[in-house]
Amino acid sequence: MQKEARARIKINELLQNAGWRFFDDKNEKANIVLENNAKITKQAIDEFGNDFEKTKKGFVDFLLLDEKGFPFVVLEAKSEDKDPLTAKEQARRYAQSQNARFIILSNGNLHYFWDLERGSPTQFIAITFRLVWQRK
């Protein structure tokens, strides 16, 4: 099994244990969207400067939705052998395209939470719904 696949399996489990849902159930709708398409405008890319990667579209690994079904958190997954912070700018671009304020960067073992309005990513232990709501 590839390292990114293992990381995604771990992340899936962490999300489910924290109360996030991949599927609708009797009481609640799913609040995770997988591989959501993210289109980036040229203006948004140019705002990052000359060194910014010039990719104009991509896929959000996990898009977590709020209680009303709107984009809330972009979760970018990396393989277990990669530092999740290497996806920082990619995740920022995706979050901006989805109008999501929060980002989680994870390789299944290391997790960083980033509130785009309040500074740099900070490492945390587990992916919980409460963590994100407390930062609102």
pLDDT of residue 126: 67
The predicted-structure confidence for 74-111, as pLDDT tens digits, reads as follows 999 999 999 999 999 999 999 999 999 999 999 999 99
Is the pLDDT assigned to residue 114 strictly greater than 70? Answer: yes
The predicted-structure confidence for 54-82, as pLDDT tens digits, reads as follows 445 578 899 999 989 999 999 999 999 99
Rounded-to-integer distance, Cα 133 and Cα 136, Å:
5
Count of residues for the chain? 136
Rounded-to-integer distance, Cα 82 and Cα 15, Å:
20
Fold of the 3-20+33-123 domain: tt1808, chain A (3.90.1570)
Work out the mean pLDDT of the chain and round it to a whole number. 82
pLDDT of residue 51: 43
| C-alpha 78 chain-centroid distance | 11
Percentage of residues in the chain having pLDDT higher than 70: 75
Phi, psi of 133 (to 5 degrees): -65, -35
